């Protein structure tokens, strides 16, 4: 391995300093490891997770829903959530995240329950994308700084792969570098790393990019739209747990308070709301 390849894969601090940890099978069996859920049934700690789908299908809305649920400890769709710091690497759409967070608080009722305290939740959002793996160190320094205030991160979100990968997503070597950078962050914090990406151009049921991406992740989820306008979330890979049943969602337009309006024009922001297969909301959000 040359010096350049070490830097390229974002491993300059670990390539020669990390030691290979080993266990005899007898020791392994004396230390049972039950599932360590972040979002029960969907996201585990210390895993690499892929969420893919077409543009504008609701991937970022789901990622923000997971992020805010973890940052507040709110159950997600009836599933227990472990609260902790979330670090959101926003490669796109970061200007609208404040409005979406406000709408999430209104639609979930969390703003009424917790008021201003809600906005002290440990959710940190980057103001620009980073290149992975070349800027892995910069990302880790920012996460470490956030951890000094909010504790060890439970979830890191990369939105999106296309905006954060160095090079060509169809290249085995470029994808290898990106995955190595994600794994470096996962190992450092023992957290879940969620990667948002787009569906394939021809096969919508798989993620775009080199096949090594799907091979590398521990779990994968496909968000896609149905003819009725309902969004469906399917688990397409779950390496170490029983795949959860499909979930259905509608996109609810949430009215923001007047101080968030553009002049006198009322401003509404989309929020993902769980529904049944017919499109009826399971927990009806507040009316306008």
pLDDT tens for the 288 residues of the chain, in order: 333 333 333 444 444 456 887 878 887 777 767 899 999 999 999 999 999 999 999 999 999 999 999 999 999 999 999 999 999 999 866 678 999 999 999 999 998 877 778 888 999 999 999 999 999 999 999 999 999 999 999 999 999 999 999 999 999 999 999 999 999 999 999 999 999 999 877 777 788 789 999 999 999 999 999 978 899 999 999 999 999 999 999 999 999 999 999 888 999 999 999 999 999 999 876 654
Structure tokens at 26: 């007898």
pLDDT value for 227: 79
Q: Is residue 250 part of a domain?
A: no
Predicted TM-score of the model (pTM): 0.88
Domain count, the chain: 1
Q: Is residue 94 part of a domain?
A: yes
Angle at which helix 136-150 crosses helix 172-189, to 10 degrees, equals 20
**Residue-range definition of the domain harbouring residue 83:** 34-245
Q: Is residue 282 part of a domain?
A: no
Q: How far is 167 from 178, CA to CA, in rounded Å?
A: 9
CATH code at position 180: 3.40.50.300
Q: Is residue 5 part of a domain?
A: no
Q: Are 100 and 50 in contact (CB under 8 A)?
A: no
DSSP 215-245: HH-SEEEEEEE-TTS-EEEEEEEESSSPPPP
pLDDT value for 119: 85
pLDDT value for 92: 67
pLDDT value for 2: 38
Q: Is residue 259 part of a domain?
A: no
Q: Is residue 21 part of a domain?
A: no
Q: Is residue 150 part of a domain?
A: yes
115 DSSP 8-state letter: G
Q: How far is 19 from 1, CA to CA, in rounded Å?
A: 17
Q: Is residue 273 part of a domain?
A: no
Sign of CA pseudo-dihedral 99, 105, 107, 111: negative
DSSP 158-205: EE-HHHHBSS-TT-HHHHHHHHHHHHHHHHHHT-EEEEEEEBPSS-TT
287 DSSP 8-state letter: P
């Amino acid at each position: 391995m040359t010096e350049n390849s070490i830097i390229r894969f974002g491993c300059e601090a670990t390539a020669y300093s990390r030691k290979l940890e080993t266990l005899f099978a007898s020791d392994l069996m004396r230390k049972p490891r039950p599932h360590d859920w972040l979002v029960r049934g969907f996201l585990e700690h210390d895993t690499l997770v892929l969420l893919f789908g077409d543009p504008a299908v609701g991937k970022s809305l789901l990622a923000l829903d997971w992020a805010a649920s973890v940052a507040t400890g709110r159950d997600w769709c009836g599933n227990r959530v472990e609260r902790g710091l979330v670090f959101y690497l926003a490669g796109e759409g970061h200007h609208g995240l404040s409005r979406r967070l406000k709408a999430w608080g209104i639609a979930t009722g969390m703003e009424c329950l917790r008021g201003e305290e809600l906005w002290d939740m440990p959710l940190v959002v980057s103001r620009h994308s980073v290149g992975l793996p070349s800027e892995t160190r910069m990302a880790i320094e920012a996460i470490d700084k956030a951890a000094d205030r909010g504790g060890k991160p439970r979830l890191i979100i990369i939105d999106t792969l296309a905006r954060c990968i160095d090079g060509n997503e169809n290249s085995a070597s470029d994808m290898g570098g990106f995955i190595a950078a994600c794994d470096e962050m996962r190992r450092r914090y023992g957290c879940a790393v969620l990667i948002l990406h787009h569906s394939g151009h021809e096969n919508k049921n798989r993620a775009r990019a080199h096949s090594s991406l799907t091979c590398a992740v521990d779990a994968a989820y496909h968000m896609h739209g149905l003819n009725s306008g309902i969004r469906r979330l399917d688990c397409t890979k779950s390496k170490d747990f029983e795949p959860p049943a499909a979930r259905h969602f509608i996109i609810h337009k949430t009215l923001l308070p007047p101080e968030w309006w553009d002049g006198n024009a009322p401003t509404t922001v989309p929020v993902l709301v769980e529904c049944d297969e017919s499109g009826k909301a399971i927990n009806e959000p507040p009316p306008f």
